[in-house]
Amino acid sequence: MTLIVIFTVFLLSTVPNIFSEFYNIKLISSFGNLFEENFGFRFPRPLVTAPFLFFTLFLLIDFRKMINEKIDYKYFFSLSILLSFLLNSFFYYFLIVIIEILIIYIIHFRKNFFLSIKRNLDKIILLFLFVLIATLPLLFQFYYGEKDYGIRVGLVEANITQRIVLAEHFISNLVRPSALLLFTFCFLLKIYSNKKFYKDKKNTLDIFFYFFVSSMLTTLIFILFSPKITSLYNFINIIIFSVILYILVCLVNFVNSQVKFDYRLCFIVALISITSIFLNQTIIMKKQDRNQFNQVVIFLENNNYRKTPLKLYTNSLKIQNLWLLLGNENLVSSNSFANSLTDKKIEHLMINVLKGDLNFNEADFKKILNLRNGVRNDFLMQLFGYKYQANSFYTFDRLEYYNTSNQEIIKNTSPFRIQMQIISEKEKERLITKFKNFQYKENLGADILILDNANYELINKNRKFKLKYKNKDYKIYEKY
């Protein structure tokens, strides 16, 4: 049954993407994205985090049993290691699982709760110490890391009034008819699964049910008590995923009780799942884009761009990673989430490249700031991440500093949508003034340019850079 569930989840994370290539149906596309976010092949999340999560849930199946027996150091050490992996890879899962453990413990010992704490104090302390040790690197980073980096990853300080508004918005979404229908169905499944007929599977099903309940409770607790708030949409995503996952596990369990799964059925489901994964990864997923990138890889390898002292500027994260994988060490600027520079230094390097290496004038700079009218500007998001987030909960600048059309977008954007990034007119003016007064520093400039023009076009106007290669998406220049 476990294999059937795993391969079915893989199917649900790939088939909608294949389907959406031929039919533009938003619901199916959203369904596929939901599973791909939590059980797909993107590195590091969810390719790394998903196994950590499901191994942890697997261990929790025996948690009630282990808490009643003589302390098993191997079990608690394994659980704490997995929890530490969750914490340092995707802390949302960590928080949800911690609350789930508390829920399981309270329900199991509800009649003798305080007495059980006394009896199991050694196990509780052991688990707590293991998790505390694993938490130290993250706490150190949180308190001593670059503050601007925290802003770029979306950390926001919220006052009590804002937290209450967020909590009310969250609860109002939970009581919508569609949400209530799904939650009611899950609770009915829980009641049905408690029947004697399913007694042997009760622990397994309960783990997925409590994960769903915990995801809702954790979101509310996080909104109300977390020192800083970030990326609440991840919690919403996990809640929806946990609901569908619980329904799926119950459905597979029910079918298995009526028609026992044999190896032939497992083989068929596995074959269909593997085929869909292959189609999704090799045929469907932007084959043309991948071909353009592979041509750049071949060019760099054939022209000995390995382990060079050259400084690269590129507006592509894929090219940045490729450059480093080829043994090169020097990047003029890197992705917003991959460096600990201050925003001031990032602005400095950005303008240095645009004004000095690409030979941009003021009109060119204004054009790049106004990509897509400043809404989800791909160029700025690569450098500053979520710094310019703008929704009905939070804006980087006061609302009146945004143009009229963007003000309406902001007002109508959910407070959970950190992805909505809009740069204000005031911020544009500040950057333009800085651009005007900036003097090019050659020692910080690039030796080679690889410009990705797939989403927007960066034009090199500097005759000191010679075009070495180009295809549909990329242009490569080297200084001579």
Helices (H), 259-285: 263-279
Residue 66 in any domain: the answer is yes
Question: Given its phi and psi angles, is residue 86 left (phi above 0), alpha (psi -120 to 50 degrees) or beta?
Answer: alpha
Residue 443 in any domain: the answer is no
The H or E element containing residue 118 is helix 113-119
Q: Cα separation of 37 and 236, whole Å?
A: 12
pLDDT per residue as tens digits for the range 276-287: 666 666 655 555
Q: Which two tokens stand for residue 443?
A: 């020692």
Q: State the residue range of the domain holding 73.
A: 2-283
Alpha-carbon Rg for the chain in angstroms: 26
The H or E element containing residue 191 is helix 177-193
Q: Which amino acid is residue 365, in one-letter code?
A: F
The 8-class DSSP code of residue 422 comes to B
Provide the strand spans (E) within 282-398.
311-314, 330-331
Residue 6 in any domain: the answer is yes
Output the pLDDT for position 28: 63
Residue 242 in any domain: the answer is yes
pLDDT per residue as tens digits for the range 282-327: 655 555 567 889 999 999 999 999 999 999 999 999 999 999 999 9
Cα end-to-end span (Å), the chain: 63
- Beginning with the edge strand found earlier in the chain, give each strand of the sheet holding 474-479 in spatial order: 330-331, 311-314, 448-452, 474-479, 465-470
Residue 392 CB burial class (10 angstroms; 0-12, 13-18, ≥19)? middle
Output the pLDDT for position 13: 63
Residue 428 in any domain: the answer is no
Output the pLDDT for position 408: 93
* Residue 114 neighbours by CB under 8 Å, 6+ apart: none
Output the pLDDT for position 218: 96
Output the pLDDT for position 135: 79
Residue 107 in any domain: the answer is yes
Q: Which two tokens stand for residue 241?
A: 């995923």
* Residue 24 neighbours by CB under 8 Å, 6+ apart: none
Provide the strand spans (E) within 238-362.
311-314, 330-331
Count the neighbouring beta carbons within 10 Å of the beta carbon of residue 15: 20
Q: Which residues of the chain have pLDDT under 50?
A: none
Residue 436 in any domain: the answer is no
Cα dihedral value 207, 226, 175, 26, nearest 10? -80
Output the pLDDT for position 26: 62
Whether the Cβ atoms of residue 220 and residue 236 lie closer than 8 Å to each other: no
Output the pLDDT for position 126: 79
* Residue 329 neighbours by CB under 8 Å, 6+ apart: 309
Number of independent structural domains in the chain:
1
* Residue 410 neighbours by CB under 8 Å, 6+ apart: 390, 391, 392, 395, 399, 402, 420, 422
* Residue 228 neighbours by CB under 8 Å, 6+ apart: 150, 155, 156, 157, 158
Output the pLDDT for position 217: 96
The H or E element containing residue 209 is helix 202-225
Closest CA to 330 of 307, 349, 302: 307
Q: Cα separation of 307 and 327, whole Å?
A: 4
Q: Cα separation of 25 and 279, whole Å?
A: 19
Residue 331 in any domain: the answer is no
Q: Which two tokens stand for residue 375?
A: 């809404």
Q: Which two tokens stand for residue 409?
A: 């977008």
Please report where in the chains the tokens 């995923």 appear, as a residue. 241
Count the neighbouring beta carbons within 10 Å of the beta carbon of residue 112: 11
- What's the pTM? 0.84
Q: Which two tokens stand for residue 49?
A: 């985090």
